[in-house]
Structure 1
């Protein structure tokens, strides 16, 4: 089911067309070279191409209650591999020249069902739903290049991906040559060929753990596309699509994700993808993007001034993009003026795909054994607070674990860790299950969001601002009490008003005053790192290093710090002196 919207005519005489979410099509505007460009398709030489595109799936194979989409002002269930597969099959009906592609982050930061099996269920699900090629994203490197190669090549009984994972700008730092396939050519019947160049964002090396990517660097996206577009055209492949795990933001977020200014008077989006798209080789016919979890079907002019489609399909498999274009057999190229695109919501009012249902059921049965696995030991209940406006033991423990996992200079060099109270979803109870034993399922219930750890630079002044943002504001009507790691202390004086309640000269780290002009390394989860829960100052943090998933780090911390004979005790309260 597609949400239908109507776009008003933007030029005189343009027919108004009924379109799906984010629908878009070409029409002339400033910079259009006029008659004679692009070349006409010729008589009897046209082929109708279809591209179906995904991005940022993040292992969301289950149709969970948390997967929703705002459709006509109402939050409706959306996504789930069983329904995504059906929607893709329906979109392919009657299409002789169709391929399904993706723009990275298909795995990593995944829900329990996929994460518990190292994301193997997700790769098997994508195989079954017909994905034919994908770029890598930064999350494909969460566990390092070796684990990515395991997914590409398979291991033991695990066959790995049926589709190529492309990384044209992922290179050996000594040779400068790609360590993954840089491109893939889809060869349709009748000699029709389309080349796909796959890349992740150039900044990937700054947002994943360096230990997993030693000897690898990530090159400039524009220069890399130029190199491989030339290589493809030298092989007679003129139709070229870039799959790029980097993105942008639609200008009008509440306009149905349609990009404004499609008449050529401006660009209806912002973000890093705009500069990349404006500079990328005119040989590239369209760009499928991801990373920002946004939804758009936009026009960005190429260096020759010709309009070029740039798309993104939200996240978690709740949306997919359908792109239709004409291929000219004479020029062997996509006719730019023919390209149309739309985003379709993956509603659950269709029949579930049985292959996907069987796969999910199989892993759901097996995951129970994984959930029972012992990961640590506790000496007593370690619980949350009665509200989110207080210090509590389990929050302190999680902050301590996050600091321990990122304090090594190679893993972040953290000095302090903060944990948001809303991210702690359950208690660790001494008599729950086997006495004193913490199971994996119990630990997962505490931190189920699969956020990853982010270590960043903050000044002492920014840390003070962060603590002040715990207080109610126009963006949040309640207090949220950040849980802090051991060694960091300050005074919260409730007798004062406003932000003065956070006593500025009371902030200390290991007994030493926090200097307002000094830089400290601070670890938070990725939700907070983006300014979540109105902690906006965290979005200003610089020199970010993205580490492991928070649950992985917490499990490792328990393994290192608890035994049956020496179980973990609840941390004492009082790191924050509330007066």
Structure 2
């Protein structure tokens, strides 16, 4: 669906009795009338899951035939800024919104400075509202409030207000209608915002996935309850209407997947949580802008349009929403996903200058060499059994860093590995490239688990919605098989440590990052570990130190023998 950017002229919304009398040279006491009004086109641009990717990154387009095309560089804040600048020349009233995860899991250029550069850049782009994503809670509720309101009182004092002495916070509004403060029974932050565009009051209501508590640190969201997304949106609508909202747009940080091309209009094969959310919404909501699943799609769900723009600024969704102003209803929607490639639009000079200053401020830290790799890149993509070369490498690294306190087995969650480990000339990996792999700043926790608990832990890999599970990456010396034909709860076979069968009643010392240690990513068995030691050691520091120690070893960083095996 190609977006039309033609904006029809709008007649005055209503003529009062006095105005009508002047216009007609008549005066009729007590009369009221409504002038006929033409539709108005509201143009929106939406992104989601930007994750502080201020620079372009690798993107693999999908052809019209569904085949993957040659990878390109796309996204980054300068490409987003250039596109918005061009589109605002066509419509100065364009409304820029986000469906969450603007920050968190960010590359070093943003995360070095507590993601303040990304917040500042979004301010420069006149972002008006964003649903809160789960990653906005990565550093806890206190840091999310600081990012909204500004200031330097942060749980990350070594990073906050280091780019500049005074952080003002976001000029846009974070929205979370379904996040309730248990102490007050009210939304933790605003649930909605009303923007007036060409005389039309556009109600923006935002929610985050209800399952946020399973994908963020439990300690960071203490006292917050995450409710049903659709119920929260529907609950907000009457109040938004009372405050004059003419039309309602839902910003939903939850998503789905589809086999359809990201550019295909009116796709009908969307699956996943956002479909159920969309089906339960009040009929007044015709447009759902989604996120979280890092997919691109333009789908139709029971007559509603549900969109998503991939991730990292690779895509932007352009939306032309036609509004019948006489009846306050959306009468047409045209949507288009656009790949944002550097150079496709004239540069935004202010953003180019801003990025130059951020890069110069960050340059020394980012280019610091870490180690020469035997081969590069080291991939995070898993094989059929669920094992990835990079995942194994990280599990080995966290184990090596904690052997001195008794650790025997290292675990790493796949969701914590955000990028392949890349390298520059001569296969030398720089700090910025290593940090892009592990951007969360997690610390390592060592604990005791029995053999029976470790078996339970491994069985929990199939608790997620993914048919292939959410596979933990494991350290050298630990191995097992699993059988997809067996029922969930009894799939794991032949667990060994250093060649010996794991004993159910024996205690083993394991290490994982603090997110996993609190039961994150649907692994509650970790939270039951005893004799816990909070090492305070960053996973990134353990990783870079390990890379230095094994520098130049072998022809490949991939494990010599499989650790996770799938029964045939």
TM-score, normalization: structure 1?
0.65
Q: Does 1:242 align with 2:263?
A: no
Q: CA deviation at 1:170?
A: 1.4
Q: Does 1:168 align with 2:171?
A: no
**Aligned counterpart for 2:238 among listed residues 226, 230, 244:** 230
SS of aligned partner of 2:187: coil
Partner of 1:531: none
- For the 8 Å contact 2:133–2:253, the answer to whether it is kept is yes
CA deviation profile, 1:289-344 (whole Å, cap 9, x unmatched): 0000111111112xxxxx1111111111011111112222322x232x31111111
Pick closer, same or farther for the CA change 1:200–1:392 going to 2, 3 Å.
Answer: closer
RMSD: 5.1
- Distance (Å, rounded) in 1 between the aligned partners of 2:178 and 2:413: 35
- For the 8 Å contact 1:398–1:419, the answer to whether it is kept is no
Partner of 2:531: none
Q: CA deviation at 1:199?
A: 1.0
TM-score, normalization: structure 2?
0.66
Pick closer, same or farther for the CA change 1:211–1:390 going to 2, 3 Å.
Answer: closer
SS of aligned partner of 2:79: helix
SS of aligned partner of 1:93: helix
Pick closer, same or farther for the CA change 1:525–1:87 going to 2, 3 Å.
Answer: farther
Partner of 1:304: none
Q: CA deviation at 1:132?
A: 1.0
- Distance (Å, rounded) in 2 between the aligned partners of 1:245 and 1:308: 17
Q: Does 1:91 align with 2:87?
A: yes
Q: CA deviation at 1:137?
A: 0.2
- Distance (Å, rounded) in 2 between the aligned partners of 1:201 and 1:491: 33
Pick closer, same or farther for the CA change 1:258–1:212 going to 2, 3 Å.
Answer: same
SS of aligned partner of 2:362: helix
Partner of 1:460: 455
- For the 8 Å contact 2:203–2:245, the answer to whether it is kept is yes
SS of aligned partner of 2:326: coil
Partner of 1:180: 189
**Aligned counterpart for 2:260 among listed residues 253, 256, 263:** 253
Q: CA deviation at 1:201?
A: 0.6
Partner of 1:500: none
- Distance (Å, rounded) in 1 between the aligned partners of 2:248 and 2:474: 50
Q: Does 1:368 align with 2:363?
A: yes
Q: Does 1:484 align with 2:491?
A: no
Partner of 1:449: 437
- Distance (Å, rounded) in 1 between the aligned partners of 2:375 and 2:480: 19
SS of aligned partner of 1:507: strand
- Distance (Å, rounded) in 1 between the aligned partners of 2:87 and 2:503: 58
CA deviation profile, 1:220-239 (whole Å, cap 9, x unmatched): 11111111011111223231
- Distance (Å, rounded) in 2 between the aligned partners of 1:519 and 1:258: 53
Q: Does 1:315 align with 2:323?
A: no
Partner of 1:138: 134
Q: CA deviation at 1:257?
A: 4.1
Q: CA deviation at 1:160?
A: 1.3
Partner of 1:507: 496
- Distance (Å, rounded) in 2 between the aligned partners of 1:133 and 1:140: 14
- For the 8 Å contact 1:296–1:313, the answer to whether it is kept is yes
Structural mapping, 1:463-474, within 5 Å: none
Pick closer, same or farther for the CA change 1:330–1:175 going to 2, 3 Å.
Answer: same
Pick closer, same or farther for the CA change 1:166–1:359 going to 2, 3 Å.
Answer: same
Structure 1 gaps, min length 5: 1-17, 21-40, 262-267, 302-306, 376-380, 409-413, 433-440, 467-474, 476-480, 493-502, 529-539, 563-567
Pick closer, same or farther for the CA change 1:67–1:92 going to 2, 3 Å.
Answer: same
Partner of 1:358: 353
- For the 8 Å contact 2:396–2:410, the answer to whether it is kept is no
Aligned residues: 455
Q: Does 1:48 align with 2:41?
A: yes
- For the 8 Å contact 1:490–1:508, the answer to whether it is kept is yes
Q: CA deviation at 1:154?
A: 1.0
Structure 2 gaps, min length 5: 4-33, 152-164, 379-387, 446-451, 462-467, 482-491, 528-535, 563-568
**Aligned counterpart for 2:339 among listed residues 345, 354, 357:** 345
Pick closer, same or farther for the CA change 1:43–1:108 going to 2, 3 Å.
Answer: same
SS of aligned partner of 2:345: coil
- Distance (Å, rounded) in 2 between the aligned partners of 1:172 and 1:248: 27
Partner of 2:224: 216
Q: CA deviation at 1:60?
A: 1.2
- Distance (Å, rounded) in 2 between the aligned partners of 1:228 and 1:54: 23
- For the 8 Å contact 1:62–1:80, the answer to whether it is kept is yes
**Aligned counterpart for 1:328 among listed residues 324, 329, 332:** 324
Which segment is superposed worse, 81-90 or 133-142?
81-90
SS of aligned partner of 1:125: helix
Pick closer, same or farther for the CA change 1:552–1:248 going to 2, 3 Å.
Answer: farther
SS of aligned partner of 1:310: strand
Structural mapping, 1:397-476, within 5 Å: 397-400=396-399, 416-418=410-412, 442-450=430-438, 460=455
- Distance (Å, rounded) in 1 between the aligned partners of 2:304 and 2:436: 40
- Distance (Å, rounded) in 1 between the aligned partners of 2:511 and 2:368: 32
SS of aligned partner of 1:92: helix
Structural mapping, 1:237-316, within 5 Å: 237-250=245-258, 252-254=259-261, 256-261=263-268, 268-301=269-302, 307-316=303-312
- For the 8 Å contact 1:403–1:417, the answer to whether it is kept is no
- Distance (Å, rounded) in 1 between the aligned partners of 2:46 and 2:390: 45
CA deviation profile, 1:48-98 (whole Å, cap 9, x unmatched): 11111110111111134x355456744333212112111122223332542
Q: CA deviation at 1:384?
A: 6.2
CA deviation profile, 1:232-267 (whole Å, cap 9, x unmatched): 1122323111111001112x3347444434xxxxxx
SS of aligned partner of 1:104: coil
- For the 8 Å contact 1:384–1:426, the answer to whether it is kept is no
Pick closer, same or farther for the CA change 1:513–1:558 going to 2, 3 Å.
Answer: closer
- Distance (Å, rounded) in 2 between the aligned partners of 1:504 and 1:255: 39
